[in-house]
Amino acid sequence: MEKMKFVVNHEWLFRHPYIAFLSSFAQAWIVILVTALNYIVIIALSSTVLDIAKDFLALAVIAEFDNFFYNEHKVASSIPKEILENKDEEKYRDLFEIRNT
């Protein structure tokens, strides 16, 4: 929602603002859809309390699976870390510029 609001309020920053808005809109709907499907899977397919707990834990592991690959070792030499640590450098100055409308 924040990305959609940013696109609407700062459309001059984008070459094609409608594409940026639609991608943010699609992302928001995908999150809502995945959450609804998770609840349906947990509630509809589970008959006992133990099955509900088991299914919830399985979905929690799947949701956190990407964090296993994005560990500190890989982030230590990444471009985003370089940008954040060197925000005063000339080549990254535009990334941290604050614009008010």
Residue 19 is classified by DSSP as: H
Whole-number Cα distances in Å, 26 to 13, 37, 60, 92, 94: 20, 16, 23, 29, 28
Q: What is the distance between the alpha carbons of residues 27 and 1, in angstroms, rounded to a whole number?
A: 9
The reply to whether 11 and 38 lie within a common domain is: yes
pLDDT of residue 97: 72
The reply to whether 6 and 27 lie within a common domain is: yes
Give pLDDT tens digits for 29-46.
Answer: 988 898 888 888 788 877
Q: Residue 81's domain spans which residues?
A: 68-96
More confident residue, 84 or 18: 18
Predicted structure pTM score: 0.49
Number of independent structural domains in the chain? 2
Q: Which of 42, 67, 66, 70 is CA-nearest to residue 56?
A: 42
Q: What is the distance between the alpha carbons of residues 28 and 22, in angstroms, rounded to a whole number?
A: 10
Q: Domain for residue 44, yes or no?
A: yes
Token readout for 80 is: 């985003």
The reply to whether 45 and 10 lie within a common domain is: yes
Q: What is the distance between the alpha carbons of residues 100 and 7, in angstroms, rounded to a whole number?
A: 13
Q: Domain for residue 4, yes or no?
A: yes
Which H or E element spans position 75? helix 72-75
Q: pLDDT band for 18, please (50, 70, 90 cuts).
A: confident
Q: Which of 97, 80, 78 is CA-nearest to residue 88?
A: 97
Give pLDDT tens digits for 58-101.
Answer: 887 877 776 666 565 555 566 766 766 776 667 777 766 777 66
